[in-house]
Structure formats: C-alpha cells, structure tokens
C-alpha cells in the first residue's frame, strides 16, 4: 500500500485519470490530460474537458516548470499527518505550456491556462515543507516527486531558483 506521511494512499484501479498521473509521477514525469477535440490541456484530473465537454483525451508530458499564480498558507491541519507541518504553503502553479490562450469558441476576453495545485516543498527534500516567508506570487517553481511505493508517486512543487517573473508579491502578515 502506498504511503505518504503515515497515511495510506489508495487510487482505485478504474480511476484512470488519477492513476495515470500518480503512475507517471513515480517515473518522475509530469503528465496532464490533453483534450483530443479542442486540444486544451487541463491540470485537474477528470473525465470531461472543462472547456468543450469532450470525453476524448490523451496524456501529454509537460516540463513541470511554472510560476506561482496564487497560494495559501494552511494554518490548521485537517489531518493529523499534517499537524507537524502547519503553517505550510499550498500553491496554484501556472505551467509554462499553456498560459492565457483564448477560450475555444471565442468567448470574448476569456482565456485558458494550465494550473495545478499542490504543496510547496524544499527542492532538496520534497518531504519537507517550504518556509512560509519564501512563498510569493510570481516566483518560479518546478515539479518534484515523492515516491509512494513501486507504482505510485506524488506531484509536489519547489522553488526553482530562476528569477521571478515579476516583482514577487505576498500577502502582508
């Protein structure tokens, strides 16, 4: 049984969207779903395309490089396993592969980006959370992986050390 921070991780064998993501992560590859009809990429696993509702899709490997689009600091652990982690950052990463492209069908002013949420961890130790003071919108990040067992891995994010995309912004504390 796959394990993370003392918790058992189970992905149902018929949950192809999550299973594919976790299995690729164990191979240290980041994959996302690509709609076979409109061609848009999506970062949250699911059956249907959120942009055109098509059920046809394929896996696409992506670079795992992106920018922190938003973040939050979790101050109350909802699971005992995270009790020693609070306060810890969760980031919404906008990946380089698909940024602000026009919405299929031409809805005026609407754009589509590829965003994924996850923990922000130390680049040299993905089992350790990143310090709260180092998190800011605009900081560049890269994907890192935690091996859960021989079959499954977990996608996490870490600061990449690249120059920030713009002056980093963080909420005043």
Catalog residues that contact Zn ion under the rule CB under 5 A. 35, 37-38, 49, 51-52, 54
Q: Are 121 and 158 in contact (CB under 8 A)?
A: yes
The CB-of-118 to Zn ion minimum distance in angstroms stands at 23
Q: Are 63 and 94 in contact (CB under 8 A)?
A: no
CB closer to Zn ion out of 37 and 72 = 37
Distance, in Å, from the CA atom of 142 to the CA atom of 77, rounded to the nearest integer, reads 25
Q: Are 57 and 36 in contact (CB under 8 A)?
A: yes
The CB-of-48 to Zn ion minimum distance in angstroms stands at 8
34 beta partners: 41, 58
- What is the three-class DSSP state of 36? coil
DSSP 8-19: EE---TT-HHHH
CB closer to Zn ion out of 105 and 109 = 105
Take residue 92 and report the two structure tokens written for it: 């919404």
CB closer to Zn ion out of 52 and 146 = 52
Take residue 117 and report the two structure tokens written for it: 């949420």
CB closer to Zn ion out of 11 and 112 = 112
The CB-of-51 to Zn ion minimum distance in angstroms stands at 5
CB closer to Zn ion out of 70 and 111 = 111
The CB-of-18 to Zn ion minimum distance in angstroms stands at 19
Q: Phi first, then psi: what are they for 132, rounded to 5°? A: -55, -40
The CB-of-46 to Zn ion minimum distance in angstroms stands at 11
């Amino acid at each position: 049984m796959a394990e993370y921070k003392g918790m058992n991780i189970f992905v149902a064998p018929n949950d192809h969207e999550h299973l594919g993501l976790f299995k690729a992560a164990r191979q240290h590859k980041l994959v996302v779903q690509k709609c076979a009809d409109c061609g848009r990429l999506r970062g949250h696993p699911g059956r249907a395309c959120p942009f055109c509702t098509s059920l046809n899709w394929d896996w696409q490997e992506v670079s795992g490089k992106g920018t922190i689009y938003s973040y939050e600091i979790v101050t109350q652990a909802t699971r005992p396993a995270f009790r020693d982690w609070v306060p810890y950052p969760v980031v919404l990463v906008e990946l380089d592969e698909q940024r602000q492209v026009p919405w299929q069908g031409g809805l005026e002013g609407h754009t589509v980006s590829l965003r994924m949420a996850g923990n922000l961890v130390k680049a040299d130790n993905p089992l350790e959370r990143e310090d709260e003071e180092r998190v800011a919108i605009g900081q560049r990040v890269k994907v890192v992986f935690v091996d859960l067992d021989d079959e499954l891995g977990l996608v996490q994010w870490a600061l990449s050390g690249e120059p920030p995309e713009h002056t980093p912004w963080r909420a005043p504390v």
